[in-house]
C-alpha cells in the first residue's frame, strides 16, 4: 500500500493550493503553463514543500517524458543515456523534463553536462535544492534557469489540505475516531513540512488502530520529531538558550541548541549573525579576536552553506563560550542612548567644531581647540562632551 503522502499527492495545478506566489492566477509558473513554453527552473526551499509534486504536475500538463533523478544516487552515465533519448525526442517535438532532486549534491562536471541541453531547450531541467543556488549551482547553469523560492507550508495550509482530504483519510482508517480538533492540533505541529505531517499522521492512525485519536497520542508521536518554528516562540526560546549558554561559558549546551536549530532547518546565517552580535555584546574588548573569528565564520557559512556549515558554527560557539566576557560595549550602547533620549540634540562644543570658512571662524568655531599631536604622548586635558554631560564616564 502506498504511503498517505503519496496517495494524497495533488495531480493537477488546481489542487496545489499553496505556494500562491508561484502557481496561482497570473503568477509565473501558471503563466508559463498557459503559454505552453516552460523554461528550466530551480526550486529552492524547505523539505516537505512538495517541489517534486509540482514538477510532476508540470510534466503531466505539457505531456513531457518525465525522469526523476537524485543528486545523491544518480550517476553521470545514467544522465548521458537520458540526454541521448531526450535529443531524439526533441527532433520529434516531444518535450523531456528531468527533475533533479538535491541538485546541489552534483559537482561542477556533472552540472556542466546539463548545460548545452538546457541552453538549447532540448530538455526542461527542474532542479530542487534546500541550499542557496547562488552558492551551490554553477553560474553558467544558474543564469539559464529561473529560480523560484518555495515558502514553508503554514499551519493553515496544512489544515486546509488535511480538512479537504479528511474523508479519504477516514476511509483508509475507518476504526480510528478523529476530526477537526485533531486535524487542527496536528497542523499546528507541522513545522512547515507537509510530507512529514502526513507521515506522522499515518503512523498515529496505524498505532492507534481503533478508538479515538487523543492529543496525548499526537504529542507522543511528535516527541520523536523535531518541533521548531522559525517564526514563532520556539525560535526565540532556542536562540535565547544559545545566547545564555554562551554567556555562562557552557559550550556543550550552546552546541546542542545550535544543532536543534539546524535540524529544524533554521537558516545557518541567522545563527551566525547572532553569534557575531554575541562576540561584541558579551565579549567585546575582553577578547577582540572573538569578533574577528565570528565575522570569518559568518563569511564561511555564507560561502559553504548547509549541511557542511554546522562544524563552523560549533567551532565558533566553543571559542565564544570559553572567551573572557565583558558587556561593556552593550552597556555603552544603552547608556549613550539613554543620555541622548534624556538631553536631546545638545550642541557640539565650539572648540570641537570645524571652521572651514571665515564666517565660521568669526563665530568662534574651533577656538581654543588643542591639537593632540602637539602634546607629549598626545595626552591633553580637553573636554569633549557637551556642557550637560561634562565628565561623563561610560567605560568603567
Statement to judge: residues 37 and 146 lie in one domain: yes
Q: Rounding to the nearest 10 degrees, give the CA dihedral for residues 14, 20, 22, 24.
A: 40
Per-residue confidence (pLDDT) for residue 226, from 0 to 100: 53
Statement to judge: residues 371 and 296 lie in one domain: no
Q: Encode pLDDT of 129-159 as tens digits.
A: 988 888 789 999 999 999 998 887 888 888 8
Statement to judge: residues 201 and 244 lie in one domain: no
The residue with greater pLDDT, 115 or 179, is: 115
Statement to judge: residues 145 and 195 lie in one domain: no
Query: Which among 307, 322, 337 is the end of a domain?
Result: 322
CATH number of the domain encompassing residue 248 = 1.20.272.10
Mean local confidence (pLDDT), 383-392: 89
Residue 219 has pLDDT above 80, yes or no: no
Residue 327 lies inside a defined structural domain of this protein: no
User: Could you give the number of structural domains in the chain?
Assistant: 4
Query: Which among 188, 222, 256 is the end of a domain?
Result: 222
Residue 228 has pLDDT above 60, yes or no: no
Could you tell me what percent of the chain has a pLDDT over 70?
A: 94
Mean local confidence (pLDDT), 101-120: 90
Least confident of 15-24, 57-66, 153-162, 257-266: 15-24
Statement to judge: residues 187 and 257 lie in one domain: no
The residue with greater pLDDT, 127 or 14, is: 127
Q: Encode pLDDT of 169-215 as tens digits.
A: 888 888 888 888 888 888 877 777 788 888 888 888 887 777 888 88
Per-residue confidence (pLDDT) for residue 196, from 0 to 100: 80
Statement to judge: residues 122 and 184 lie in one domain: no
N- to C-terminal Cα separation, the chain: 71
Statement to judge: residues 130 and 200 lie in one domain: no
Mean local confidence (pLDDT), 281-294: 96
Per-residue confidence (pLDDT) for residue 230, from 0 to 100: 52
Q: Is 160 exposed, middle or buried (0-12, 13-18, 19+ CB in 10 A)?
A: middle
Q: Encode pLDDT of 12-56 as tens digits.
A: 877 776 676 777 677 888 888 888 889 999 999 878 888 999 999
What is the residue range of 23's domain? 19-150
pTM beyond cutoff 0.85:
no
CATH number of the domain encompassing residue 163 = 1.10.8
Residue 328 lies inside a defined structural domain of this protein: no
How many residues appear in the chain? 396
Statement to judge: residues 144 and 168 lie in one domain: no
Averaged pLDDT score across all residues of the chain = 87
Residue 286 lies inside a defined structural domain of this protein: yes
Q: Rounding to the nearest 10 degrees, give the CA dihedral for residues 33, 35, 36, 40.
A: -70
Statement to judge: residues 357 and 308 lie in one domain: no
Per-residue confidence (pLDDT) for residue 90, from 0 to 100: 94
Residue 312 lies inside a defined structural domain of this protein: yes
Residue with cell 526565540: 236
Amino acid at each position: 500500500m502506498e504511503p498517505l503522502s503519496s496517495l494524497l499527492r495533488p495531480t493537477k495545478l488546481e489542487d496545489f493550493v499553496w505556494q500562491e506566489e508561484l502557481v496561482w492566477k497570473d503568477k509565473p509558473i501558471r503563466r508559463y503553463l498557459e503559454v505552453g513554453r516552460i523554461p528550466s527552473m530551480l526550486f529552492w526551499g524547505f523539505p516537505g514543500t512538495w517541489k517534486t509534486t509540482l514538477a510532476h504536475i508540470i510534466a503531466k500538463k505539457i505531456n513531457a517524458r518525465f525522469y526523476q533523478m537524485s543528486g545523491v544516487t544518480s550517476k553521470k552515465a545514467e544522465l548521458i543515456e537520458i540526454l541521448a533519448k531526450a535529443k531524439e525526442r526533441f527532433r520529434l517535438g516531444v518535450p523531456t523534463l528531468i527533475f533533479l532532486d538535491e541538485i546541489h549534491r552534483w559537482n561542477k562536471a556533472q552540472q556542466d553536462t546539463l548545460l548545452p541541453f538546457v541552453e538549447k531547450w532540448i530538455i526542461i531541467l527542474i532542479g530542487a535544492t534546500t541550499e542557496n543556488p547562488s552558492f551551490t549551482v554553477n553560474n553558467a547553469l544558474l543564469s539559464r534557469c529561473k529560480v523560484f523560492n518555495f515558502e514553508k507550508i503554514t499551519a493553515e495550509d496544512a489544515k486546509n489540505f488535511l480538512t479537504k482530504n479528511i474523508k479519504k483519510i477516514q476511509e483508509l482508517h475507518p476504526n480510528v475516531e478523529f476530526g477537526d480538533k485533531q486535524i487542527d492540533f496536528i497542523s499546528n505541529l507541522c513545522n512547515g513540512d507537509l510530507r512529514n505531517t502526513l507521515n506522522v499522521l499515518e503512523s498515529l492512525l496505524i498505532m492507534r488502530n481503533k478508538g479515538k485519536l487523543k492529543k496525548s497520542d499526537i504529542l507522543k508521536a511528535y516527541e520523536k520529531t523535531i518541533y521548531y518554528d522559525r517564526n514563532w516562540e520556539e525560535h526565540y526560546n532556542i536562540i535565547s538558550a544559545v545566547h545564555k549558554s554562551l554567556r555562562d561559558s557552557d559550550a556543550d549546551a550552546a552546541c546542542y541548541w545550535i544543532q536543534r536549530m539546524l535540524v529544524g532547518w533554521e537558516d545557518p546565517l541567522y545563527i551566525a549573525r547572532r553569534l557575531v552580535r554575541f562576540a561584541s555584546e558579551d565579549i567585546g574588548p575582553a577578547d577582540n579576536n572573538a569578533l574577528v573569528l565570528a565575522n570569518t565564520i559568518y563569511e564561511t557559512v555564507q560561502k559553504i552553506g548547509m549541511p557542511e556549515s554546522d562544524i563552523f558554527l560549533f567551532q565558533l560557539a566553543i571559542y565564544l563560550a570559553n572567551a573572557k566576557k565583558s558587556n561593556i560595549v552593550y552597556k555603552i550602547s544603552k547608556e549613550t542612548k539613554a543620555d541622548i533620549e534624556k538631553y536631546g540634540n545638545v550642541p557640539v562644543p565650539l572648540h570641537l567644531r570645524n571652521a572651514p570658512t571665515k564666517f565660521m571662524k568669526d563665530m568662534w568655531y574651533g577656538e581654543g581647540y588643542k591639537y593632540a599631536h602637539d602634546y607629549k604622548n598626545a595626552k591633553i586635558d580637553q573636554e569633549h562632551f557637551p556642557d550637560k554631560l561634562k565628565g561623563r564616564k561610560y567605560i568603567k
